[in-house]
Structure formats: structure tokens, C-alpha cells
Amino acid sequence: MLANPISIARWMVVAGSLGLLVVAALAGWLLRDQIFQTFQDPGEPFQTYSPPPPADYAAADAWFARGDFSDPEEAAVFFVHPTTYSGGANWNGALDKESANRQVIDIALPNYAAPFARSGVLFAPRYRQAALYAFMNNREDSVQARLFAHEDVARAFDAFLEDIGPDRPIILSGVGQGGFHALGLLIDHFAQDETLRSRLVTAYIIDAPVPLDLFSDALADIPPCETAEDVRCVFAYSYAQTEESDRIRILTERTMSWTPDRNLAFVEGRGLLCINPVLGTRTSEYASARQHRGGVAAEGLPPDTTPAPIPGQTGAQCADGILFVDEPRHRDLQRPNRLAEDFREPPFNLFYEDLRLDAAQRAFTLISILQEERRWAPPLEIVEDVEDAPVVPIPDRREF
């Protein structure tokens, strides 16, 4: 019995439609980041854009954290949070954007600021952060949005310096976009001021590539942290797994960073600094999972809460400027599959405990150094040459 031609035709139409849907769904999946990026485009040139109102860093509400000191030698921690605003309406996020602020409070502070806050008093400014969209491409508008955000961070840092006084040790820390801004502060402030450099415990720059050419120029006086005992140095890494080819390409080729003359340029070909956080040293040696002190998924915890770290989760090794890590075994320390995940910071800190102990040791070391230096005699003033004066003898009165 022959099949009904009409039925066959209907079946072919249905099959063809299903095939198109499958192809469309597959294309949408493969191009999901590009589609997401399109929807986040503000659709207006930065030059004609009206940014949100700025912060007054003399006011308490301009800070996510602005602590009080109980010890005259206690370190101050200046932390710059990562990107939490996606974009869409603005190139730079408004200070009162609730969803972006909630991510800072619930995720960035307890996971990324807290390890350093154990070694000092935490200061974390609100700033008009560049949108995630501005880091997914390198358009001139996107670059301008990043530089605009950096101006806020620089103003916050000036206010921070006034708050903490002239002698207190400083831990500088930034993650993702915050790392980009922290690196700019090193070039703008610390590199220009010997006294400020002497107070730097360490600059922790995480997931923001740091080009090596800076250390032969703008950062010649602030070297990488070569050993676990070094202070007044830069501790930086950007990490990926070996199979994350897109993320590796973004970190080593497509990212723009500061140049010695305070412009921005691609990092490709400039070499990148990588300090192994498990070992605390600049080395290509492999650190096994047994040496890993612990990651933390601390979403929603207050920054002053001490979460229980999950140790032994990953090995780590620096190669070609990237920290290559093994897939963590614990699900809470595995990257989620979100849109634009290669440009985001995960909702956990894989090296929380490693960083906490590292910062504590370096802070103790610098405080001890500063105490010793303050016992030294003050430096001699510049010696002035004195011309010989003629000696006029006093007459002997007996001769008169």
C-alpha cells in the first residue's frame, strides 16, 4: 500500500521545521555571548553620554566598607571590587544600582575582600564601574568607560589616604575590573611617591593581566613578589583551566592594560606577571592540590565572618603568564555556566585561604620593618660647604 502523498508532505514540512529549530537553537547557543553583548550595548557614543552622578567620598554612603582602627599600626586595606553591572542602559553603572550593589555586598566582599580584611581595616569604595559590556569589546567607547571609572577610584583613593593618615601600612587589592584600577593606582600614586611605596605591604591584582614591561619602566621601584617573604611588591595572577581556550585568548591577547605612559594597549606580546598563590612565589613550579590551603564560596556572608575553607581542591602552575589550575572537585568551587562567564568573576574565591595567610604574613613583615625603620636616627640634612673665614687676632693689651 502506497503512503499518502499529503501525509508525506506534511511530515517533511514538520521535519524541516524541527531541523530549522534545532539549527537555530544550536546557533543561538554557540553565539550566546555575542547575542548577550548586543543586548548590553548602550546604543549611544560615550562622547555624548551623560554619566550617573558621582560619589562624595567624604560621605559614608560612598563606601561599601569604611572601617575604624583600633591599633595605631594596623594596616589599611583598599579593595576595588570587580564588575557587577552588565550594561544595557549605561556605559557606567549608577552608584545606586541595586542589583549591581547586591552582588558586591553578597559576593565580592565576602569572597574577595575578606581574605585581606583579616590583616587590616577594610575600605571598599563605590564607584561608577564600567559595564561588563565595556570589557567584552575594545571599542573606543568601551575604553573611555574604563578610564572614566578609574577617575572615580583615584578620587576614592585620595580620600582613603586622608582618612588613614601618613604612616599606616597599606594593602592594595583589586579583582577583575578592580585589578585594572588597582594597577593604575600603582602607576599614578605609588610609583610617584617614595614614602607611599614604603608603606605598601603588597598589591594583590587578581584576574587583571599585569604586563611585564611595566616593571622596567613605570613600576621599576615596585617589583614582583619573587618570594613569600617579599613586601612592597606586586602579587598578580589570572587563572584558567587548560581547556578554556577562549578565556586564555582573552587574558593573553584581547585584554588591554596600562602602558608605562598611562595609556592603554593590548597585552599580547608584552609578557604577563604570574605569582602562584599556593606557593606565594614567582615560579613555574607545579603546586599540587595537597598544598592548596582552601577555596571558599562565601556568598551572602558578612565580610567579618570567617568561613570554613575547602582545602586540597586544585593544583596550580604558572606558564606563559597564566596560572593554570586543575578542575576543583567540590561543586561550589566550579565555575557556573553563565553568559559571558569568561569576563566575570566566579561567585567563590578558589584561593581564599592561600591569600588570607599570604597577606597576614606580609603585613606582619612590613609592620616589623616599619617599626625598625622608625627607630633609626633621622637622615642627615644636606651638608653645606662653609667658606674659610679670615682670622683676625686680638691685640695684646700689654703692647699698649
Q: In total, how many domains does the chain have?
A: 1
Q: 82, 177 in Cβ contact below 8 A?
A: yes
284-313 pLDDT per residue, tens: 999 999 999 999 999 988 777 789 999 999
Q: Is residue 245 part of a domain?
A: yes
| Predicted pLDDT of residue 13 | 61
Which phi and psi angles does 325 have, rounded to 5°? Answer: -120, 155
67-109 pLDDT per residue, tens: 999 998 999 999 999 999 999 889 999 999 999 999 999 999 9
Which phi and psi angles does 287 have, rounded to 5°? Answer: -100, 125
176-229 pLDDT per residue, tens: 999 999 999 999 999 999 999 999 999 999 999 999 999 999 999 999 999 999
Q: 216, 279 in Cβ contact below 8 A?
A: no
Average pLDDT, the chain: 90
| Predicted pLDDT of residue 25 | 44
User: Which residue do the cell numbers 561608577 mark?
Assistant: 128
Q: 294, 310 in Cβ contact below 8 A?
A: yes
Q: Is residue 170 part of a domain?
A: yes
| Predicted pLDDT of residue 151 | 98
| Predicted pLDDT of residue 300 | 84
Q: Is residue 27 part of a domain?
A: no
| Predicted pLDDT of residue 181 | 98
| Predicted pLDDT of residue 235 | 98
Non-local (6+) Cβ contacts of 34 within 8 A are none
Which phi and psi angles does 115 have, rounded to 5°? Answer: -60, -35
17-43 pLDDT per residue, tens: 565 555 444 444 344 566 788 878 998
For strand 264-266 and strand 256-258, is the pairing parallel, antiparallel, or unpaired?
antiparallel
Q: Is residue 383 part of a domain?
A: no
Of all residues in the chain, what percent carry a pLDDT higher than 90? 80
Q: 366, 232 in Cβ contact below 8 A?
A: yes
pLDDT, greater one: 399 or 164: 164
Q: Is residue 395 part of a domain?
A: no
d(CA 189, CA 196) in angstroms, rounded, equals: 8
Question: How far from 150 is each of 140, 145, 235, 394, CA to CA, in Å?
Answer: 15, 9, 20, 72
The b/e string for 333-343 (b: 16+ C-beta within 10 A; e otherwise) is bebeeeebebb
Closest CA to 47 of 121, 134, 145: 145
Q: Is residue 19 part of a domain?
A: no
CA 274 to chain centre: 13
d(CA 11, CA 28) in angstroms, rounded, equals: 25
| Predicted pLDDT of residue 149 | 98
The b/e string for 301-328 (b: 16+ C-beta within 10 A; e otherwise) is bebeeebebbebbbbbbbeebbbbbbeb
What 3-state class would DSSP assign to 268? coil
| Predicted pLDDT of residue 27 | 42
| Predicted pLDDT of residue 26 | 45
Q: By residue range, what is the domain housing residue 204?
A: 36-374
Return the beta strands (E) in the chain as ranges: 63-66, 75-80, 120-125, 170-175, 200-206, 233-237, 239-240, 256-258, 264-266, 316-319, 322-325
Please report the DSSP string for 104-164 in residue order.
IIIIIIIIIIHHHHTTEEEEEE---PBPGGGGS---HHHHHHHHHHHHHHHHHHHHHHHHH
Q: Is residue 2 part of a domain?
A: no
Non-local (6+) Cβ contacts of 77 within 8 A are 113, 116, 117, 119, 120, 121, 122, 123, 170, 171, 173
User: Once rounded to an integer, what is the mean pLDDT over residues 101-124?
Assistant: 97
Q: 78, 160 in Cβ contact below 8 A?
A: yes
Q: Is residue 65 part of a domain?
A: yes
Point out which residues pair with 171 in neighbouring strands.
77, 202
Output the CA torsion sign for 309, 314, 319, 321.
negative
132-185 pLDDT per residue, tens: 999 999 999 999 999 999 999 999 999 999 999 999 999 999 999 999 999 999
Closest CA to 195 of 221, 228, 214, 177: 221
| Predicted pLDDT of residue 36 | 80
